[in-house]
Amino acid sequence: MLLPKSNTPRWIIILGDIVLSLAALFVAYLIRFDLEAKEELIQSEWDILSKSIGFYIGIKLIVFYIFKIHKGLIRHSSTEDFSRIVKATLVSSTLFGIAGLLKYYYVDGAYFFPTSVLIVELFFSTAFIVGSRFAIKLIHMESTRSKDVDEVVLIYGAGISGLITKRTIEKDQATGYRIAGFIDDNKKQSGNRLEGITIYHSSDLEKVIIDKSVTQLIIAIQAPDELKRKEIVEICLANGVEVQKVPSAKSWINGEFSAKQISKIKIDDLLGRKPIVLDEDKIESELSNEVILVTGAAGSIGSGMVRQIAKYKPAKLILLDQAESPLYDLQNEIISEFPNLTFEAVIGDIRSRDRMKNVFNAFKPKYVFHAAAYKHVPLMEVNPSEAVLTNILGTKNLVDLANEFEVHKFVMISTDKAVNPTNVMGASKRIAEIYAQFSNKTNTKFITTRFGNVLGSNGSVIPLFQRQLDQGGPLTVTDERITRFFMSIPEACQLVLEAGTMGQGSEIFVFDMGESVKIIDLAKKMIQLSGLELGKDIEIKITGLRPGEKLYEELLAKEENTLATHHPQILKAKMREEESDQISKIIDLIELFGAQNNDEMVRRMKDIVPEFISNNSQFEKLDV
**DSSP letter, residue 70:** T
- In one-letter notation, the amino acid at residue 355 is R
- Gyration radius of the chain's alpha carbons: 36
Q: How far is CA 191 from CA 3, 142, 209, in A?
A: 38, 28, 16
Strands (E) across 185-260 are located at 193-194, 197-201, 216-219, 242-245
Q: Look at residues 180, 173, 181, 179 and name the one whose alpha carbon lies nearest to residue 259.
A: 173
Under DSSP, is residue 454 helix (H, G, I), strand (E, B) or coil?
strand
Burial 195-217 (b: 16+ CB within 10 A, else e): eebbbbbbeebeebbeebebbbb
Phi/psi at 258 (5° precision): -90, 150
**DSSP code, position 534:** B
DSSP secondary structure letter of residue 198? E
CA-to-CA distance for 624 and 528, rounded, in angstroms?
45
* 319 backbone dihedrals φ, ψ, rounded to 5°: -100, 105
Residue of 417, 429, 445, 550 with catalytic role: 417
**DSSP β-ladder status, 561-564 and 570-574:** antiparallel
Backbone angles phi, psi at 551, to 5 degrees: -75, -40
H-helix or E-strand spanning residue 600: helix 598-608
- CB contact burial 103-118 (16+ within 10 A = b; e otherwise): beeeeeeebbbbeebb
Contact 328, 322 (CB under 8 A): no
Strands (DSSP E) found in 359-472? 367-370, 409-415, 445-451, 453-455
Write b or e for each residue in 462-485: b if 16 or more Cβ atoms lie within 10 A of its Cβ, otherwise e.
beebbebbeeebebbbbbeebbbb
Q: How many CA atoms lie within 13 A of 562 on its CB side?
A: 16
Determine whether 417 is an active site residue.
Answer: yes
List, in order, residues 6 or more apart from 440 with CB less than 8 Å away: 399, 403, 446, 505, 506
Question: Alpha helix (H) ranges present in 259-363?
Answer: 268-271, 280-287, 300-310, 324-337, 353-363
Residue 260 DSSP label: G
Q: Measured between alpha carbons, how far is residue 241 from residues 15, 110, 214, 244, 535 in Å?
A: 51, 72, 7, 10, 18
Residue pair 331/345 in contact by the 8 Å Cβ criterion: yes
CA 135 to chain centre: 39
Helix H or strand E encompassing 475: strand 475-477
CA distances for 536 relative to 243, 319, 473, 531, 540, angstroms: 20, 47, 11, 12, 11
Catalytic residue list:
417
